[in-house]
Amino acid sequence: MKKVVKSALAVLATLSLAGCAQAPIGAPEGAANKVGDTFKIGYNLELTGAVAAYGSQEKMGADLAVKEINESGGIDGKKIEVVSKDNKSDNAEAASVASSLVSNDKVVAAVGPATSGAAKATIPNMTQAGVPLITPSGSDDSLTLMKNGRLNEFAFRTIFQDSDQGRIISTYVTNNLKAQKVLIYYDNSSDYAKGIYSSFKKNFKGDIVDTVTFQSGDKDFQATLSKVKNLKYDAIVMPGYYNETGLITKQARELGITAPIIGGDGFASDTYVQLSGKKAATDVHYVAAFSPKAPASKKTEPFIKNFKAANNQEPSAFAALAYDAVYMIKEAAENGKVEDSAQLAKELAEIKDFDGVTGVMTIDKNHNPVKSAVIVTLDNGVESKAEVVNPEK
């Protein structure tokens, strides 16, 4: 997921820390943090700010994994020590947190950030130190690659890519919703939403009757919705984040627009339903990496039980993805008997058939997980069904 931070500070911080954000980057020879008496993992998460709903869930999921691993003996006999920091949903702050984690705290891996923009801002500092990061939910296709196609050696993720989501939505709209004509209403200030929109448009073989846009922070969508209300379409494709899509859903239903609404994993937050209202969140569908209603692994049910016991709530996809990220670190570290962060990155790149709670995944040559996804359906604000789907390349 990617939030665009519209501040000169974010741009200047990223450029100053990266030298040039678009240049290919590799760790200086010998750059790495050593594994000490404990196995230090940093959290660089959005615990406050615009997308705190994502980062807070990811922290809960990661914390549960750490607790379980430590109770079962740690990583190669060493307990995990967590250094948790809040990047405040801000790209520049995320870059600063990354610098602190690798330079001051000497972590050997980081979980987060949750969003693609923040994750991209951290990559230069993580790479300079030779320390891998795993973003649980940064789905921008370009996140693990430079513009020239070179691999970002220290960037990994447990989420599928935006282009995967666009393909999944296209297939679901056609085969399941039986929609031949669609309206697209997307966030043109978000690279996340633009990525899904672009992929959907490329893959959808039906008619797009109109394309309209909104921006992050918008609250009133009445004018646009009134304009498109009487167009003939079978579904509304709505790539964006819960803060806006929840309000759009509410206002659309109030205007009498009853068409199915489908979006990406930006809908995957309880806040979406809080903003839309339960009644309005009917015939709503979205892509997710995880659902309790569609177990992707034998590990899923124990995870749900333990998460509910620890947090008094069901886990979201974000919690599950972060949980898997910590266990991926454990598997990579133990597979290679790693002694430093650079070795850990090499072992993460070699992960195959990792059995996580979000499904079995293999890390491909571009550090993306090859895995299944889920389509969740909401009716009256409640998850009425979920089905496992596979992104078709």
86-124 confidence digits (pLDDT tens): 999 999 999 999 999 999 999 999 999 999 999 999 999
Please calculate the CA angle 339-93-189 and round it to the nearest 5 degrees: 115
Nearest to 173 by CA among 258, 264, 257: 264
Task: For residue 4, name the pLDDT band (cuts at 50, 70, 90).
Answer: very low
42-76 pLDDT tens trace? 999 999 999 999 999 999 999 999 999 999 999 99
pTM: 0.84
Q: Per-residue pLDDT for 207 more than 70?
A: yes
Q: What domains lie within the chain, and their CATH numbers?
A: 8-159+297-371 (3.40.50.2300), 162-288 (3.40.50.2300)
Cβ pair 206, 182 in contact under 8 A: yes
Task: For residue 191, name the pLDDT band (cuts at 50, 70, 90).
Answer: confident
pLDDT at 17: 38
More confident residue, 294 or 22: 294
How many whole angstroms from its chain centre is CA 101?
Answer: 21
Q: Sheet of 155-157: strands edge to edge?
A: 80-86, 39-45, 109-111, 133-135, 155-157
317-352 pLDDT tens trace? 999 999 999 999 999 999 998 999 999 999 999 999
C-alpha span between 162 and 145 (Å, rounded): 14
pLDDT at 11: 36
First CA to last CA distance, the chain: 20
Q: Per-residue pLDDT for 14 more than 50?
A: no
Q: Per-residue pLDDT for 2 more than 70?
A: no
Most confident range (mean pLDDT) of 62-76, 142-156, 378-392 is 62-76
Q: Per-residue pLDDT for 274 more than 70?
A: yes
Cis peptide before 113 (omega within 30 of 0): yes
Task: Name the average pLDDT for the chain.
Answer: 92
Average pLDDT on 120-136 reads 97
pLDDT at 382: 96
E strands in 35-112: 39-45, 80-86, 109-111
Window from 66-75, 195-204, 294-303 with minimum mean pLDDT: 294-303
Task: For residue 147, name the pLDDT band (cuts at 50, 70, 90).
Answer: confident
Task: For residue 12, name the pLDDT band (cuts at 50, 70, 90).
Answer: very low
| Helix or strand (DSSP H, E) at 310 | helix 300-311
Go through 12-50 and write b for each residue having 16 or more CB atoms within 10 A of its CB, e for each that does not: ebbeebbeebeeebebeeebbbebeeebbbbbbbbbeeb
C-alpha span between 152 and 27 (Å, rounded): 10
Q: Per-residue pLDDT for 15 more than 60?
A: no
How many whole angstroms from its chain centre is CA 202?
Answer: 22
Per cent of the chain over pLDDT 70 is 92
Most confident range (mean pLDDT) of 247-256, 262-271, 382-391 is 247-256
pLDDT at 31: 87
pLDDT at 21: 38
pLDDT at 56: 98
Average pLDDT on 10-34 reads 53
pLDDT at 155: 98
pLDDT at 27: 66
